[in-house]
Structure 1
Amino acid sequence: MTATTALAVVAAPAAAVAAPREADRAGLQRRLDDVVAAGSVGALAEVRDEHGVWRGTSGVAELDTTRPVPVHGRFRVGSITKTFLAAVVLQLVGEGRLRLDDTVETWLPGVLPAGHHTTVRQLLNHTSGSYDYLRTLPMPPAPDFLGIRWRTWTATELIQRAVANPPTFEPPGSAYAYSNTNYLLLGQIVEEVTGRSYGEEVERRLIRPLRLRGTVMPGTSPWIPGPHPHGYVPILRGSETQLVDYTEINPSVMGASGEMISTTRDLNRFFAALLGGRLLPGHLLDEMRTPGVEGRRYGLGLAWRDTSCGIRVYGNDGDALTYQVWSFSTSDRHRQVSVALTPAFRGDVDDAVNALLNKAICG
């Protein structure tokens, strides 16, 4: 099947014309088309480099239509929400209102069985051992998954589902295991420290100051405001698995671990501000880039990867089931890439996405 494509290119400024690396925008578009061919309904990306800004789309915004993916479209960013929340937590640390070595028990008495021995730092870098609450919920392709679509969840009840299970490991800090429960706890700690919800703090400290006009913390609202591609989940019906439009969902089931909606532009803008030192002092940005366990590539809400040309990039990725997102930047912010796709669940897109990220950073 030939993917329907749309391309938007912003011209490079005059100062970039003499750059040694030529702009291969057609090559970026081919890589984005490959992402769709590998198993996506649609995809969109924004690349920033010495030549300016390139934005491209591929595939369709909605199954059984020819409607192109909106180049400025919004999408659910999943776990990239964690990086925003981590930045807020570290701002509170910088203000002296919270310490990385504070225990969970200090702020949330009785909430976590191992709370006396679990620190804020361990929540941020996923070394707490807390059981992941998502493992207690039905997941696609189970038909029961559709039954939780509109339900409003509280962080308290989701955390209770997690702590009803034994820790993934003990003691806290001895290993790494990714757990969405960690960030639900951090959201509650932010509320205890500030008297405002974590969503309000993200908006007040990050979204508004950085003018992230396409970014929202939806809370319990099921809608994605503005233009956006549709997202789908595979559901077993009888003996067949069918894609079900799951664009609208009460996002409280993700909460502080992944509820945010954003755009490729806003993600690039956020990571440029973060890595450029506009949001945190240098020593706290260094903490973000320090892994909790040797050999891991995840610090305090910030991840990193090495590209095919050996350039290390920082950022995060997110999986909101209906949307998969990657956003990474070089430490000097000279090259950035954000890509979002709506999976069709008919193939592994990882290699194609990696090729696109490498193309954007390495040329």
Structure 2
Amino acid sequence: MHGHIGRVTAIIAAAAVVATAAAAPATASPAPTGHRLLQQAADDLNGFGFTGVQVLLRDGHRTTEARAGVADVATNRPVPKNGWFRMGSNTKTFASIILLQLAGEGRLRLDDTVERWLPGLVTGNGNDGSKITVRQLLRHQSGLAEYTAHLPAFASNDAFEKHRYDHWDDADLVRLALTDPPAFAPGTSWGYSNTNYVLAGMIIEEVTGKPWDAHLRARILKPAGMTQTFYPGDDPDLPSPHANAYDSLSPGEDLIDTTRWNTTAAGAAGGMVTTPTDLSRFWQALQQGRLLRPAQMREMHDTVPTGDDRGSRYGLGIFLTQLECGTFWGHDGGVPGMYTVDGVTEDGDRVLVVSVSSPPSDPPNASARVGELLSDTLC
């Protein structure tokens, strides 16, 4: 997710431009390889203020892992191997895949309007669901405002403690966004908004008669060989083992433990839970063509510029970033106290997953270090 989260996911996402600059020329001295390379990066990220760090590189069928920091600041318990974490906006890619599969089956069209499937929902303050298509939702070109700006739990530390267990229905999240006018007319610009993917989840349910997460196992998890990924819904707990999350939603105040959280506040926009091993398998399966037919894969990879200074582009639930050695695909994600960045090569051969806890004390250096790691591993 972004929103309140934007201040930290931007820190991680900004690593992409650093990765472009950091890509070493062929004449440079070789960087450390394997576990040593990952461990150096994990230690550095811990040094920049992330309390817990997990890094995993999947190369073909071989995985290399590194960890740093602590899972619990009170006990100094070490970060566990392959610990569970909240993947945040990586969830969007899963929702997009389900909708693309349904489109490939002829059960909806990407150019259907939101009004076609959710009549009367998106209206008021200049918002009009009859002018927004499913494709525009998935590509963040709807212009719809960000509902997380009005989410009570994100207002302050005290508000988070008060509202962390609140249940949210998707329609109520959308109504939060509709209190604001659109940022632009549909299709005329690009603007990241979690509201788009809450609506995407609702459309999946309207088309199929089942909640979006009911399709995860058959359509994605089983084909990708994933056994440690799910949507917890109202269950606020993370499976064990895991590193705890820490964050401050009140600028200048101490960090609070944000591990326990009701993810209905995120839904199809950012509510899923996974492990580094499983998430790396997902990205590999996607890029190797095991989750989408070629026609739908082309739709997903049809990108538009995001307008940021990194030159990144966005497809249907997926980011494209250019390195000197080529391009990589992926998504970043963040929920209070947990942040993820990952990248996968065009052929799906190599995948990097970085999962960290707590905001960094030195954001620019943290971004630079993540960017350097992306370059070292994906080039």
Assess same fold via TM > 0.5. Answer: yes
* 2:262 corresponding residue in structure 1: 250
TM superposition shift of 1:345: 4.3
Tell me if the contact between 2:138 and 2:316 (Cα under 8 Å) persists in the aligned partners: yes
> Which residues of structure 1 form unaligned runs of 5+?
1-19
TM superposition shift of 1:144: 2.0
* Distance (whole Å) between structure 2 residues aligned to residue 230 and residue 294 of structure 1: 32
Within a 5 Å distance, the mapping from 1:24-63 to structure 2 comes to 24-49=34-59, 52-63=62-73
Within a 5 Å distance, the mapping from 1:143-222 to structure 2 comes to 143-170=158-185, 172-222=186-236
Higher helix share: 2
* 2:285 corresponding residue in structure 1: 273
Distance 1:293 1:305, change over 3 A: closer
* 1:338 corresponding residue in structure 2: 353
Tell me if the contact between 1:234 and 1:345 (Cα under 8 Å) persists in the aligned partners: no
- Select 1:101's aligned residue among 98, 111, 135: 111
Question: CA offsets per residue over residues 252-304 of structure 1, 9 Å max, x none?
Answer: 11111000000111111111111111111112111111124576511100112
TM superposition shift of 1:112: 0.9
Paired positions, count: 339
* 1:357 corresponding residue in structure 2: 374
Tell me if the contact between 1:82 and 1:183 (Cα under 8 Å) persists in the aligned partners: yes
Which deviates the most, 135-144 or 311-320? 135-144
* Distance (whole Å) between structure 1 residues aligned to residue 205 and residue 219 of structure 2: 14
Q: TM-score, normalised by structure 2?
A: 0.85
Tell me if the contact between 2:167 and 2:265 (Cα under 8 Å) persists in the aligned partners: yes
User: Match for 2:54: what amino acid?
Assistant: L
* Distance (whole Å) between structure 2 residues aligned to residue 223 and residue 191 of structure 1: 25
SS at match of 1:135: helix
Question: CA offsets per residue over residues 23-55 of structure 1, 9 Å max, x none?
Answer: 442122101111111120011011022693201
TM superposition shift of 1:315: 1.1
Q: Name the % identity.
A: 39
SS at match of 1:336: strand
* Distance (whole Å) between structure 1 residues aligned to residue 326 and residue 267 of structure 2: 33
TM superposition shift of 1:63: 0.7
Structure with the larger RCO, 1 or 2 (CA within 8 Å, 6+ apart): 2
* 1:4 corresponding residue in structure 2: none
Question: CA offsets per residue over residues 314-363 of structure 1, 9 Å max, x none?
Answer: 1111011211001211011222111100024422122221122222223x
Runs of at least 4 residues off by over 3 Å: 20-24, 292-296
SS at match of 2:191: coil
Q: TM-score, normalised by structure 1?
A: 0.89
* 1:298 corresponding residue in structure 2: 314
User: Match for 2:297: what amino acid?
Assistant: L
* Distance (whole Å) between structure 1 residues aligned to residue 329 and residue 321 of structure 2: 7
- Select 1:134's aligned residue among 144, 148, 155: 148
